Structure 1
């Protein structure tokens, strides 16, 4: 037994270092050098191929515009506050039930404060009436950062948070802030044919404006929603805020907003409301809740 153990220990030690042949772990120094050089060259070539592939890919990408825009097909329409399953439910008498909604609107509108839009060279006045696109060159012209049109939260009237810091929730008249998602160099087009618009919008002029309109989603809710007020640029998105040049060229960009206030919702009812933006190059999809439209369920309890 002891002889076998000594033989076993000696074999292990000899494998670790064989002084007779000058081998470490079964290989001579020359053998270890060759295998080290092989793997060094092998993995060096793999790294070179990987780096070269990435560099070739980067040459095909623009610093200013996404090559592929595979999110929501332009443009998407979103609203604040948002909640799980697009359901907004609260009690007028309990501030804690709508605090999260108020906080999200405060966060959105903070950058729209007038005193945050005074820096020269970053912001400029583009008028208080809808106007045509504000062209500031191409994406690749390298003329520096573009200026942003000012958009003041006071233009949102009763939904600005300046006169009512609960945005109507305390009185059972909740507000929604609506915006189009940012699409680099996208130019929305206003409706050219009024006959395609809802009856309430027909007969009005929408030059340089993309109107927003909300109504009951279910026929049985038609008499339960009451008057809907729109604040901003005539209830739509003015074209002078487009195109958007991206974060690198347009870091101070402010999206135009539309505020919607539901002033006479029936108390205690689950009301499903559908809102849409109307333009010639704006499509809708019932499969995508925010593609050119959204629907939201609002429940006001006393």
Structure 2
């Protein structure tokens, strides 16, 4: 009798069809199991995972809170020499070529075809959108104020950049692209806390500075001494042929970035100073290589890495 019971105990379970086996897996009425577990087993495993993930989320949140205590939302932790950006600002230009040709630095258009140069003027419209005059909303403080060399911005305020008054190089004049005399806008890259060491003494200007810029600085110093507190700008053809083809250049509103725009401290509403380079009569149908440089004692030029300078090509048909 005992042997018979043992034989029954070790007998294999009855063979079930696929659907019958699946149905019993979902709900076994004999054992009260749902998907292989009883209600108590499911409750225990769910409670374990709730506690596990709650502790995990709490630990992550605590570490994140500690991390944010080391950060200032208005200033980078690592600045100037201690940062990856360093203390040598780059120089950028606008408008940029289409995104489909993002590596290009060529500005090429046909002045007689509005549809052809529309891309460039639209790019400038978008770039200058933040420079438009704004009507302050009720309860919103306008931080922009007019500045000059005698009136730097007060604490908590920023200098306005009135691009709409640059008649040759504003939106209403289509930035002069329709007249084969385009305006290219230059800007310095922002570095938090960086202050330019400007050339206030005309007796020790660098030897590689263009002669016309040296003469301009000397003239500005004699006319208005405070105006030499400027990061000066020069644009030239890179090669002898480019020098011949580039034609006369006008810098609007002046030949550099005034020192009262610096340092950048992330004040709300801050606008980077701009210089519009107006190419009055570039030679038509010729590719012109142009290099623009920013000049200050603490700006070093490296053509290979484009430090303190920018290169682009201009071709007007």
TM bin, normalised by shorter chain, reads 0.7 to 0.9
CA-atom RMSD, angstroms?
Answer: 3.1
CA distance in 2 between counterparts of 1:7 and 1:157 reads: 87
1:105, distance to aligned residue in structure 2 (A): 2.5
Which residue of 2 is the match for residue 237 of structure 1? 257
Residue 115 of structure 2 is aligned to residue 96 of structure 1:
yes
What is the aligned partner in structure 1 of residue 190 from structure 2?
Answer: 182
Check the 8 A contact 2:87/2:191 in 1, yes or no.
Answer: no
In structure 2, the residue matched to 1:255 is: 272
Please name the residue that 1:87 is paired with.
106
Aligned residue pair count: 281
Instruction: Give, in angstroms, the shift of residue 9 of structure 1.
Output: 5.9
Maintained 8 Å contact 1:195/1:202? no
* Max Rg structure: 2
Partners of 2:234 and 2:292 within 8 A in 1:
yes
Instruction: Tell me if structure 1 keeps the 8 A contact 2:198–2:229.
Output: yes
Change (3 A) 1:236 1:50: same
Deviation at 1:5, TM superposition (A): 6.2
**Alpha-carbon contact 2:87-2:194 (below 8 Å) kept:** no
Larger relative contact order (C-alpha < 8 A, sep ≥ 6)? 1
Preserved contact between residue 136 and residue 142 of structure 2 (Cα < 8 Å): no
SS in 2 for 1:213: strand
Give me the whole-angstrom Cα distance separating, in 1, the residues matched to 2:23 and 2:144.
Answer: 77
Would the aligned equivalents of 1:133 and 1:242 in 2 still touch at CA under 8 Å? no
2:292 alignment partner, SS class? strand
Residues 174 and 16 of structure 1: CA distance in aligned 2, closer, same or farther (over 3 Å) = closer
Distance in 1, matches of 2:30 and 2:170, equals 89
CA distance in 2 between partners of 1:276 and 1:24 (Å):
75
1:99-110 pair list within 5 angstroms = 99-110=118-129
After alignment, is 179-188 or 168-177 more displaced? 179-188
> Which stretches in structure 1 are left out of the alignment for 5+ residues?
137-145
Deviation at residue 176 of structure 1 after TM alignment: 0.9
Write out per-residue CA displacement over residues 31-83 of structure 1, whole angstroms, 9 at most, x where no aligned residue: 22222222222222222222222222211111101235656975222222111
Q: Equivalents in 2 of 1:33, 1:95: separation in Å?
A: 72
**2:287 aligned with 1:273:** no
The residue that corresponds to 1:201 in the other structure is: 213
Call closer, same or farther: CA 1:275–1:187 in 2, change over 3 Å: same
Residue 241 to residue 260, structure 1, CA distance change in 2 (3 Å): same
CA distance 1:45–1:264, shift in 2 (3 Å): same
Change (3 A) 1:126 1:24: same
| CA distance in structure 2 between the aligned counterparts of 1:274 and 1:166, rounded to whole angstroms | 24
Shift, 1:226, TM fit: 1.8
- Aligned equivalent of 2:313: 297
Shift in Å, 1:268: 1.1
Q: TM-score w.r.t. structure 2 length?
A: 0.76
Q: 1:223 aligns with which of 233, 236, 244?
A: 244
Q: How many angstroms apart in 1 are the aligned matches of 2:152 and 2:300?
A: 20
- 2: CA distance, partners of 1:155 / 1:114: 11
